[in-house]
Chain A
Amino acid sequence: MKVDIKELKPKKAVLKIEDTQLYFINSLRRIMLSELPKLAIDGVVIYDNTSALFDEIISHRLGLIPIPTDLSLLTFKDQCVCKGKGCPNCTVRYTLSKEGEGTVLSGDLQASEKSWKITEDKIPIVRLYGEQRLILEVEAVLGRGKDHAKWQSVQAPAYRMDISIEFDKSKIEDVKRIIKKLPEGIADIKNDKIVLKDETKLPALESIIDKEKIDFITVKHDPTKITFSFETDGSLTAKDVIVESAKILEQKYTEFVKQLKAL
């Protein structure tokens, strides 16, 4: 397997993976969606809420805020030494108190410890008018995407196979006519193949092939060469996501092998 990093930003990554199989990338993708833990607000105590939104709506909005997560410092609440009571090993607490004209932002949540400060601090929770007031206390716990979407740290994980577009050389005039129908500059003929400038624009060509029932152009997919891309919401960095997901997948295989030995 060969991995080439095309793009690695704190919140986005594009990897080109060669000599692999689709099932492997797909299992990695599914681990990211459903098994990777992250922090999210799970319990809210509302002391005072005179704003225009209901308590439930505010709680729901709080739950969706991404909280920077350090997975090495935290354990799941039900597996913690405190037996689910809530301690610094499994819960992170925040308080919020605001009164009078203005927007309550996610950055107004005060962490009990500075290291848990919310980084996505510009998300509006509610807008207050006049003498309206919002005072609450929340606790954030680790969870997994399969339990609730608020615990899903990865957005739009997707993979794409490499493509090569071949055509019947005797019909080159027809091919040129079809390329002219596409948006300008997205396709070109090079060495008896159609080359797309941007491979995500393939559906434009495919729709014409479908519509006109063309049989002299064939799009070939190579399932061993895959471009894998995903974004995160800011609770984990893109690098952490890929490393932690690979670790979880490895644990699952190790566990499986262990079970097989018992047979």
Chain B
Amino acid sequence: MIIPVRCFTCGKIIGDAFEEYTKRYEIYKKAFDAGENPKETPKQILDELGIDRYCCRRMILTHVELIGESAPFE
């Protein structure tokens, strides 16, 4: 639905990192699909955002933002 506030396992705040991650991931994906050398990989983005443990990384990597789908319903 919407990105959780904290990591389920360790409790680190990860909600604020998701938007920036998606933004930078789009740039990576565009470059990758065009066959160019991307400026940074998802690994480097996560490292730079300070998300070190794999429990927090999976929160960001595996999240699907679906709140737009349910937005018409109150």
Residues from chain A with Cβ under 8 Å of B5 in the complex: 61, 64-65, 123
Contact size class for A?
A: 20 to 34
Q: Which residues of A contact B73 (CB under 8 A)?
A: 52
Q: Can you give 20 contacting A-B residue pairs, CB < 8 Å?
A: A51-B74, A53-B1, A53-B2, A65-B5, A120-B16, A122-B19, A123-B5, A123-B15, A123-B16, A124-B3, A124-B15, A124-B16, A127-B68, A127-B71, A129-B68, A149-B11, A155-B12, A156-B12, A231-B12, A234-B13
Query: Who on chain A is nearest to B71 by CB?
Result: A129
List of A residues within 8 angstroms of B64 by Cβ: none
A251 within 8 A of B: no
Residue of B with least CB distance to A127: B67
* B10 at the binding interface (Cβ < 8 Å): yes
Which residues does chain B contribute within 8 Å of A61, judged by CB atoms? 5
Chain B: residues with CB nearer than 8 A to chain A?
1-3, 5-6, 10-13, 15-16, 18-19, 53, 67-68, 70-74
B2 and A126: CB pair below 8 A?
yes
Q: Contacts of B2 on A, CB cut-off 8 Å? A: 53, 124, 126-127
The listed residue (A50, A65, A124, A156) touching B74 by CB distance below 8 A is: A50
